[in-house]
């Protein structure tokens, strides 16, 4: 089962109430995950591997920024990837809730 399929399934089950900035971040993140799935499905060659690494980095960046947007919508602050991930775990958010 692909990453994007799992995220889609879990996001269908969750109620989302986020601001438009957060919605945009989530859409970008979902698109990035889909592109990561696409490159992982290709044959193993150096270019595909390099593309997968770059897309993973992009997904990671969008993931913490989506958490940051969710935090802002709830009047919480986080300024770095580490802080945002810690905050997300502390308040028991999972990625499908942020999405």
Delimit the domains of the chain by residue range. 20-98
CB 53 within 8 A of CB 47: no
Greater pLDDT, 75 or 5: 75
Structure tokens at 62: 């969008």
What is the torsional sign of CA 11, 29, 97, 93?
positive
Structure tokens at 84: 């945002």
CB 4 within 8 A of CB 37: yes
The CATH topology of domain 20-98 is 1.20.120
Q: Which pLDDT value is given to residue 58?
A: 92
pLDDT digits over 10-62, tens only?
554 444 444 567 788 888 888 888 888 887 777 667 777 888 889 999 999 99
Mean pLDDT of 60-78: 91
């Amino acid at each position: 089962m692909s990453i994007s399929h799992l995220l889609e399934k879990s996001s269908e089950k969750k109620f989302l109430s986020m601001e438009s900035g957060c919605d945009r971040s989530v859409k970008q993140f979902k698109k990035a995950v889909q592109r990561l799935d696409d490159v992982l499905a290709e044959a193993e060659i150096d270019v595909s591997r390099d593309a997968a690494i770059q897309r993973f980095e992009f997904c990671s960046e969008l993931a913490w920024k989506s958490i940051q947007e969710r935090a802002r919508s709830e009047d919480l602050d986080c300024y770095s990837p580490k802080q945002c991930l810690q905050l997300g775990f502390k308040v028991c958010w999972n990625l499908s809730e942020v999405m």
